[in-house]
C-alpha cells in the first residue's frame, strides 16, 4: 500500500510539472508524425515499402498491399489516429487506438528481424508513456485500486518547474538499452537489401552468412528455412 501511495504522489506531481507536460506533447507529435507518411501511402494505394518481395517483411507488405480496401482502411485509420493525437482533447483516444497497432508492428518487426526494430520499440514505449500519462482518465476500466482524484487535482493546480532528472535519466537509459539489446539480440539479420545483408558478413562465419543472404534475397525462401540452413552451416564448421 505504501508503494502505491508513493506512485500516487509521483503521478500527481508529474501532472503538474511543465517538463512532463512538454515531454507528453513531444511524444504525441512524434507518434503522430510516425503514422502520417505510412498512413498516407496506404490511403492513396501505393506500396508502403521499398523492401524486396523476397524479404520476410517485404513479402508481408506486398501481400498486404493486395488486400484491396482493407489496405486503404489501415491507411485511413493511421491518419485518423495521428489527427486524434495532435488534438489535445482527443489525444487519449488516439493513444488508446495507437497501442494495438504499434504493438502489432513491434512484434512483426522482431519476428522478421527487421532493421527498424529499435525505432518501433521506442514508439511503443512512447505510446505506453502516453497511456500512463492519461491514467487518471482510463483508470476506471483497469482492474486494480485507483489513484484518488482529489490528490491528482490538488497536485495539478500546484504546478512546478523542477526538472525531473531521474525520469529523463531513465528515458535515456531506456533508449540506450533498446539500441544495445537490439545489437546483440539476433545472431544475424536479413538487412533491408542483399548488399546490406552481405556487408554484415565477416569472420569465420562469412560464407554461411552470405549463403543466408542469398537464401533470403535471391532465392526468396522463408526466414525460418534460411536460419535453419545458416545455423547448420555454422555447426559444421565447429
> Domain-by-domain residue ranges, the chain?
8-137+163-185, 194-237
Tell me which residue has cell 522463408: 222
Q: At residue 235, does pLDDT exceed 90?
A: no
Mean per-residue pLDDT, 19-42: 96
pLDDT in tens, 153-187: 555 555 678 899 999 999 999 999 999 999 999 99
Nearest to 56 by CA among 187, 212, 202: 212
Query: What does pTM read for this prediction?
Result: 0.88
Residue 111: all three cell numbers together: 519476428
Query: Lowest-pLDDT range, 9-18, 53-62, 140-149, 166-175?
Result: 140-149
Mean per-residue pLDDT, 95-115: 96
- Percent of the chain scored above 90 by pLDDT? 71
CA 22/CA 135 separation, integer angstroms? 17
- Name the pLDDT band for 189 (thresholds 50, 70, 90): very high
> Please, what's the b/e burial string for 159-192 (b: 16 or more CB within 10 A of its CB; e: otherwise)?
eeeeebeeeeeebeeeeeebeeebeeeeebbbbb
Tell me which residue has cell 501511495: 5
CA 159/CA 155 separation, integer angstroms? 7
pLDDT in tens, 46-58: 988 888 889 999 9
pLDDT, position 44? 95
H or E element at residue 219: none
Residue 218: all three cell numbers together: 535471391
Amino acid at each position: 500500500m505504501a508503494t502505491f501511495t508513493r506512485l500516487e504522489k509521483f503521478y500527481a506531481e508529474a501532472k503538474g510539472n511543465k517538463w512532463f507536460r512538454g515531454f507528453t506533447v513531444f511524444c504525441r507529435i512524434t507518434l503522430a508524425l510516425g503514422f502520417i507518411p505510412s498512413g498516407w501511402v496506404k490511403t492513396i494505394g501505393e506500396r508502403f515499402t521499398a523492401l524486396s518481395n523476397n524479404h520476410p517483411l517485404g513479402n508481408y507488405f506486398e501481400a498486404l498491399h493486395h488486400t484491396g480496401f482493407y489496405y486503404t482502411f489501415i491507411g485511413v485509420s493511421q491518419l485518423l489516429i495521428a489527427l486524434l493525437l495532435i488534438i489535445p482533447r482527443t489525444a487519449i483516444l488516439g493513444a488508446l487506438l495507437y497501442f494495438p497497432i504499434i504493438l502489432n508492428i513491434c512484434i512483426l518487426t522482431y519476428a522478421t528481424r527487421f532493421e527498424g526494430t529499435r525505432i518501433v520499440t521506442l514508439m511503443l514505449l512512447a505510446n505506453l508513456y502516453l497511456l500512463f500519462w492519461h491514467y487518471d482518465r482510463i483508470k476506471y476500466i483497469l482492474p486494480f485500486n485507483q489513484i484518488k482524484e482529489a490528490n491528482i487535482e490538488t497536485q495539478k493546480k500546484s504546478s512546478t518547474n523542477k526538472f525531473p532528472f531521474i525520469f529523463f535519466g531513465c528515458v535515456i537509459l531506456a533508449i540506450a538499452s533498446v539500441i544495445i539489446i537490439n545489437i546483440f539480440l539476433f545472431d544475424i539479420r536479413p538487412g533491408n537489401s542483399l548488399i546490406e545483408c552481405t556487408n554484415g558478413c565477416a569472420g569465420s562465419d562469412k560464407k554461411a552468412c552470405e549463403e543466408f543472404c542469398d537464401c533470403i534475397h535471391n532465392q526468396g525462401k522463408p526466414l525460418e528455412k534460411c536460419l535453419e540452413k545458416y545455423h547448420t552451416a555454422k555447426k559444421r564448421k565447429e
